[in-house]
Structure formats: structure tokens, C-alpha cells
Amino acid sequence: MSGEGRIIVTGADGFIGQALCGHLRQRGVQVRALVRELDGEAQTPGDDNVAIGDLATSEEGALATAIGGARVVVHLAGRAHVNREDAADPGDAYHRANCLGTQRLAAAAAAAGVARFIFASTVKVNGEATLPGHPFVESDAVDPRDAYARSKWAAEQSLRDVARDTALDVTILRLPLLYGRGVKGNFAKLVNAIARGVPLPLGAVANRRSLLSVANFASAIDVLLALPTPAPRHRDATYFVADAEAPSTPALIRAVAAALCVSARLVSVPLPLLRLAGACVDQSAAIVRLTSSLEVDTTAFRAATGWRPPFTLEEGLRGMKPNTP
């Protein structure tokens, strides 16, 4: 593989990876998509699509070949939240996928002379909620509460070690919930419920939740790709990236409904009663996510790069469709 100057995108077959690869290729950027395994007709083996297997166990030679000649690695691959846990040791599974795999990939990138390594981390490294008017900033203490967040925090620390010991420039992006066409997980469930006209008892919620459309994420990557390699060497930086808007849960529901051309069926239920109901059906965590604030301050990233999110919430939601008939 020649690949001189290419951009490596791991997790290229995921929701975010597909959107980013499509965006970059549309701009004429040479992209090499790294995936665990090739997906039939959707991906053909070659210089543009490479099956690398499990990053935590892939042979060093295979990693070196896959990365060879690339200029930047955008690392999206990892283990996210799973609805039906089947791992014997979930903590170890998260650590291997999100920390060990990241560490090995970064070491291979540094050895191959890659200039920049961009890592998609999570706002959950800082915690599960913010106080009103106090969004997370980069200097806040970390507070990872679950195995997923702890594995991402461990990965960040391993990347800083690699950046300190090599010439690799590391940029860590702590991201909030991403959305857009093809979104999966809890956001997709919410979209499906709104599309079906399910009454949602969230009308009384008065919170603020930072979000990031995949289109705005891609624009942030554009800005990072355009930056010169920093001097002095061994630099690493951590930033929050999010849309300009941080809607409340009811405002988000109304925006999704508008994008789907349906009515938002919001019912105002007092929060104490809502949380009590959530506890009764073992959905306390889900109710907390929907009713609490989780907001980030993107000032540092905007100041360092000149980035401004080009798309509004309405534009980011445009074209979304429910995943069920």
C-alpha cells in the first residue's frame, strides 16, 4: 500500500465513521478505512478498505502495513455501550477495546511517522451531569462513572504517554452524544418513539444537553486536518466539541418531530414523579440522562482552531428517519 498522505479512519463502518469517510472522500481527501472485517459488497478489499481485525490483538506487522505512509489517524473504533452485555468481564472488554487497542494503534502510528493522531473520546470522562450554568471545561477534574468512561480515560492517558515519548501529535476530542442520519442506540429509540407518536412524559424537564451532529463533527475534523503540525514536539491537547445549541430534552423532542414532520406528543409530568416511576421499572439511569443537564464549553477548541459549528440543530436533524417501519 502506498497511501502517502492518506487519512486513516478506524471504525469506518460505524455510524460516525461512515459519515466521516463519505464527507472526506466527497472533498477529495484520500481515505483508508480500517474496519474489523470487510462487510460483503459494501466494502471491497484494497487500498481504500482494510480489514485489521481486533486492534488489541492485531499483528504489529499488519498494523504497520495498514498505517504505512498515512499523515493522520482519526481513531473512532472502540467498544461503546451495549444493550445486551455478553462479555464475561465487561470492564476488561472495554479496557481491551478502548484502551489497549488505542495504545497499540498510536504506538504503530508513531513508529510509522504519522504526524497527527485524533482520538474520539467522550464527555463521560468528566462525569454524567453538569450543574445549571456550569458546563464542563477541559480543566475540570475527571469523574468517569462506568466501565466505558473509565476505559476512554485510560486510553487518553496512554495516548499522552505516547505523545510524550514520540513525535506524534495527539488531539483528544471529548464528544457528547452524536446524531444524524443512521444514528443508532438511545437516540434512534427516541426518534422511533417520536415517529410512532408515543406520548413522552418529559414536557416539564428544564435541562441543557450538549449534542454534536455528524456534519459538525466532520467539519471539526476538517479544521484539525488543515492545522500545521505543531512545534514544539510532544504536544497533546484535549478539547470539547459540540453544536452551538444545547437544547433541553423537550426542545430536542420538538426539533426531531419537526424534522420527521410529525407532532411532538409531550406530557408534563413532575420530575420527582417521573424519577420515581423510572425507579419502579428499573430505568433510573435512563430517566437521569433524559432529565439532567450535560453541557460542555467549546471555547478552547474554537480559540485553538478557529472552528465554528456550521450546522444548526435543525440542519443536523434534517433527513433523519426512524429505523423501524
Amino acid at 311: F
What Cα–Cα distance (Å) separates residue 224 from each residue in 63, 196, 301? 23, 39, 10
The DSSP code for 233 is S
Amino acid at 140: D
Grid coordinates in use for 116? 497527527
Q: Output Rg (C-alpha) for the chain, integer angstroms.
A: 20
What Cα–Cα distance (Å) separates residue 111 from each residue in 3, 67, 71, 321? 16, 10, 12, 43
- Cα–Cα nearest to 253, from 285, 309, 209: 209
Q: How far apart are the first and last CA of the chain?
A: 42
> Which residues are part of the catalytic machinery?
148
Q: In this structure, what are the phi and psi dihedrals at residue 111, rounded to the nearest 5 degrees?
A: -65, -30
Instruction: Please report how many Cα atoms fall inside a 13 Å half-sphere around the Cα of residue 72, on the Cβ side.
Output: 22
